Amino acid sequence: MSLATLFQIRETVGECITDIDVMTAAREIAWEYADGDTEKLDRISNLMFKYSTILASLTATKLSHLLMGDEFDKMADEAMQLENMFDQIEGEENNG
């Protein structure tokens, strides 16, 4: 597997988290427990989004590590370095 595959996995996880069916199911659960209180509905929805994000990310990470072994750690470090570099360049462009 390559670094590009790692980025594709991350993108796929993001798509799964924001999938309309996932978001609709979470909203339905939140609506059920909000008792008509819109503030409570927003809090429950936010907590469910946080939960689904953590679950999906952890699942993808564990599966990637299982498939790639120690190579995953090396590639994850390289991906973080690339992201940091892009963030620095983007920051310089926004400030310059």
pTM for this model (two decimals): 0.63
pLDDT tens digits, 12-64: 888 888 889 988 898 899 999 999 899 999 999 889 989 988 998 888 888 88
Q: Which of 3-7, 59-63, 89-93 has the highest mean pLDDT?
A: 59-63
Q: Which residues contact 53 (CB under 8 A, 6 or more apart)?
A: 17
Q: Which residues contact 9 (CB under 8 A, 6 or more apart)?
A: 60, 64
Q: What is the pLDDT of residue 60?
A: 84
Q: What is the pLDDT of residue 96?
A: 62
